[in-house]
Amino acid sequence: MLLNSFDALNAFAKQLERNITGKNFHTKVIVTPSSIKEAGIVIKVSLLKTFIPNDVPASRSSRTLRVRVTVAGTAESHTGLKQAVDAIEALDEFFIRPALRLEVPCEDDIVKLVPNSRIIQDVSQEDSFIDSPDSTAVQDVQDDRYITITIPTGEI
């Protein structure tokens, strides 16, 4: 199977969907652009860049994707705020796993790790919870993480 950037992006979104769960929340994972308009909190996965690094000759056998993962929406109550915080904490727990690799679905709903792949996170230092200028009862949520995914360029 040859893995391209589009397939890797969608596999990563499915990987988040499988792993970002909690008993107090269910957050939808959306690959943007999307026409889906969800109420409440969602996790958006957006491709920012895809390229083959050229710093060293050995790196040319891999492809790098820069992806933004955002917990976004509005917290209109303490329940919404709790769901947003739970989703952010679930992402924290997922991304601190050692040697995090990309997973791709195969036949019979079996998920396989992509050899020579890596997933690395960089958390935005901007605030994640912003008071809405239109209301004192609503907070806008936008927690951004910038993810670097490295995949092999050949067959996996």
40: its two tokens = 């409440």
Region 64-70: mean pLDDT is 96
Determine the CATH number of domain 5-152.
3.30.2000.30
**Nearest CA-CA partner of 63 in 55, 54, 51:** 51
Tell me the C-alpha distance between 16 and 131, whole Å: 27
Residue 156 pLDDT: 64
Residue 126 pLDDT: 80
Q: Could you write out the three-class secondary structure of the chain? A: CECCHHHHHHHHHHHHHHHCCCCCCCCEEEECCCCCCCCCCEEEEEEEEEECCCCCHHHHHEEEEEEEEEEEEEECCHHHHHHHHHHHHHHHHHHCCCCCCCEEECHHHCEEECCCCEEEEEECCCCCEEECCCCCCCEEEEEEEEEEEEEECCEC
Q: Is the pLDDT of residue 148 over 90?
A: yes
**How many other CB atoms are there within 10 angstroms of residue 72's CB atom?**
19
pLDDT in tens, 29-62: 999 998 777 777 899 999 999 999 887 666 678 9
Q: Domain boundaries in the chain?
A: 5-152
Q: Is the pLDDT of residue 150 over 70?
A: yes
Which of 3-17, 40-54, 93-107, 124-138 bottoms out in mean pLDDT, i.e. has the lowest?
Answer: 124-138
Region 122-145: mean pLDDT is 78
For residues 119-130, one letter each, b for 16 or more C-beta atoms within 10 angstroms of the residue's C-beta and e for the rest, the string is bebeeeeeebee
Residue 124 pLDDT: 82
